[in-house]
């Protein structure tokens, strides 16, 4: 923030209070766009779970968000829907398949593999122009379509390679 802006804010109580109101409204506006963004993902089918069957596992793919950001994730469970820790030696084959698709795939206790989209990582720390543009319906639809297409490309490549393993 420039010295001039600070001087203006501190020049009167009204200016200082106005800055707080603007700041609060700014964050609320980002929240509105955030909700629109996730509703668009849902309306385009991006919040659903897709499944792949391998041996006695169900591998689920979906788009998620956690404190580290938005990501495409693959999770395994036994065919009886019992959660599986991803440190099984048998699942290493599947983890390696994801790394073959894109070496940036990471794994954790809960995820066989996950990767951030190339278009956006964390919504609230995204470029301010991007957040503003996501308020535009046409831009948002196109942006979300690209995001979902990227995730689908990983899912389809993964499904093809798993099919070859079966």
Please state the rounded mean pLDDT for residues 96-121. 92
Please state the rounded mean pLDDT for residues 39-43. 94
**In whole angstroms, what separates CA 82 from the centre of its chain?**
25
pLDDT value for 104: 95
Please indicate whether residue 31 or residue 83 has the higher confidence score (pLDDT): 31
User: Do 34 and 132 meet the contact criterion of CB atoms below 8 Å apart?
Assistant: no
Predicted confidence (pLDDT) at residue 152 exceeds the cutoff of 80: yes
Residues 6+ apart with CB under 8 A from 90: 55
User: Do 26 and 132 meet the contact criterion of CB atoms below 8 Å apart?
Assistant: no
Please state the rounded mean pLDDT for residues 7-19. 91
3 state DSSP class of 153 = helix
Q: Report the alpha-carbon distance of residue 104 to residue 22 in Å, rounded.
A: 39
**Cβ neighbours around 131 below 10 Å, total:** 18
The H or E element containing residue 24 is helix 13-43
pLDDT value for 87: 66
Predicted confidence (pLDDT) at residue 124 exceeds the cutoff of 80: yes
Please indicate whether residue 118 or residue 165 has the higher confidence score (pLDDT): 118
The rounded percent of the chain whose pLDDT value lies above 70 is: 95
Lowest mean pLDDT: which of 60-74, 75-89, 97-111, 133-147?
A: 75-89
pTM of the model: 0.84
Predicted confidence (pLDDT) at residue 80 exceeds the cutoff of 80: no
Q: Report the alpha-carbon distance of residue 109 to residue 85 in Å, rounded.
A: 6
3 state DSSP class of 96 = helix
Predicted confidence (pLDDT) at residue 84 exceeds the cutoff of 80: no
Predicted confidence (pLDDT) at residue 86 exceeds the cutoff of 90: no
Q: Report the alpha-carbon distance of residue 166 to residue 55 in Å, rounded.
A: 7
Predicted confidence (pLDDT) at residue 85 exceeds the cutoff of 90: no
Q: Which residue has the tokens 């041996």?
A: 55
């Amino acid at each position: 923030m420039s010295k001039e802006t600070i001087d203006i804010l501190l020049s009167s109580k009204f200016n200082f209070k106005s800055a707080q109101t603007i700041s609060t409204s700014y964050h609320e506006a980002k929240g509105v766009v955030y909700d629109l963004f996730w509703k668009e993902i849902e309306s385009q089918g991006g919040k659903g779970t897709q499944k792949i069957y391998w041996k006695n596992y169900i591998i689920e793919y979906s788009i998620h968000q956690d404190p580290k950001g938005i990501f495409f994730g693959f999770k395994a469970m036994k065919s009886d829907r019992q959660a599986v820790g991803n440190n099984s030696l048998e699942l290493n084959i599947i983890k390696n398949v994801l790394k073959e698709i894109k070496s940036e795939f990471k794994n954790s206790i809960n995820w066989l593999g996950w990767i951030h989209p190339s278009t956006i990582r964390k919504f609230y720390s995204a470029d301010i122009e991007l957040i503003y543009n996501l308020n535009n319906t046409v831009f948002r639809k196109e942006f979300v379509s690209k995001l979902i297409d990227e995730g689908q490309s990983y899912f389809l490549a993964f499904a093809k390679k798993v099919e070859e393993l079966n």
